[in-house]
Amino acid sequence: MIDILFYILSTITLGSAALTLLSKNPIHSALWLVVSFFSLAGHYILLNSQFLGMVHIMVYSGAIMILMLFTIMLMNLNISNEVQKPFVTKLVATVAFCLMGLIILSVVMRGTEIYELQYTTHGKDFQSVQVLGQVLLNDYVLPFEMVAVLLLLAMIGAVLISKKDKTEKTA
């Protein structure tokens, strides 16, 4: 049963990710990204990490997507205003994407032959919010604070991008 659910969620994840890239409308692309985020949260729940799945839904599917939608709306992206890329640029991007995919696939295939994963138990329940908070705020406090500063800088950048230039003169 879990295998069937995994394959269904994987199909939804890959399909919605592909539609995110292939959608011409930025709003539709953002909505497909939300579907992809929800299916990734389903993967976390299948891995018996309910807390991480719920946080993923709240943070990514909620807050980050709302910020992205506001940014898209503030930037007023229209297909009619978009400059069409030359065919050579599209061809080079496609070839580079395929080559990177082949490199990643070869690394993953070689990695499964060389490395053998061994899981050890430490006696701690990392699903507990208390243990997760202690680990996050004791062992990983510097990366945690760096992410907070990065999100603050991203918010400031979004405000600056959306701000109209008042020095333009009307003739």
Q: Where are the domains of the chain?
A: 1-80, 85-111, 125-164
Comparison of pLDDT for 126 and 130, the residue scoring more: 130
Q: What is the pTM of this model?
A: 0.55
Residue in 57, 75, 1, 65 with CA at minimum distance from that of residue 28: 65
The architecture (CATH level 2) of 1-80 comes to: Up-down Bundle (1.20)
Q: Is the pLDDT of residue 168 over 60?
A: no
Structure confidence at residue 102 (pLDDT)? 92
- Sequence-distant (6+) residues with CB within 8 A of 50 are 44, 127
**How many whole angstroms separate alpha carbon 133 and alpha carbon 71?**
31
Distance between CA 38 and CA 60 in Å, rounded? Answer: 9
Over pLDDT 70: what percentage of the chain?
78
In sequence order, what DSSP letters do the residues of 27-47 get, joined into one string? HHHHHHHHHHHHHHHHHHHHT
Q: pLDDT tens digit string along 9-36? A: 999 999 999 998 898 887 788 889 889 9
125 is written with which tokens? 């329940």
Is 5:13 a contact under the CB 8 Å cutoff?
no
The residue written with tokens 């999100």 in the block is 151
Q: Are 57 and 38 in contact (CB under 8 A)?
A: yes
**CA distance between the termini of the chain:** 68
For the chain, what percent of residues have pLDDT higher than 90?
18
Q: What is the pLDDT of residues 59-107, one digit of tens each?
A: 887 777 777 777 777 776 555 666 677 888 889 989 999 999 898 888 8
Give pLDDT, residue 114: 53
Structure tokens at 88: 């050579």
Average pLDDT score, the chain:
80
**Token digits for 82?**
């978009």
